[in-house]
Amino acid sequence: MAMESGAKCFDCRRPFQPEAIIHYDHPWGWVVEGYRERQWLGFRCLAPRCGYETSFDKLGYRHLRPSELTPPSRP
């Protein structure tokens, strides 16, 4: 996934820095190399008194919808 340059905080419009990326396990997220679980990705604004979290979803990256999840395989 190419990093979008010029992404800005949806609240204060501050441009994001690469070190502002946050991620955590999430079943609807994106496949990230090196992680077993899909990861929900976003930026946490580093501006003082902001801290708004802008997910990659808001930045236009398509992610899985619940209806697209593969049903668990039956034994």
Q: CA of 2: how far to CAs of 14, 32, 61, 67, in Å?
A: 20, 12, 10, 25
d(CA 75, CA 15): 48
d(CA 5, CA 65): 25
Closest approach of Cβ 12 to Zn ion, in Å?
3
Q: Does 61 bind Zn ion (CB under 5 A)?
A: no
Closest approach of Cβ 5 to Zn ion, in Å?
17
Q: Which residues between 13 and 42 bind Zn ion (CB under 5 A)? A: 14
Among positions 8, 44, 52, 57, the unique one binding Zn ion when judged by CB under 5 A: 52
Q: Does 64 bind Zn ion (CB under 5 A)?
A: no
Q: Which residue has the tokens 């070190």?
A: 19
Among positions 47, 57, 61, 64, the unique one binding Zn ion when judged by CB under 5 A: 47
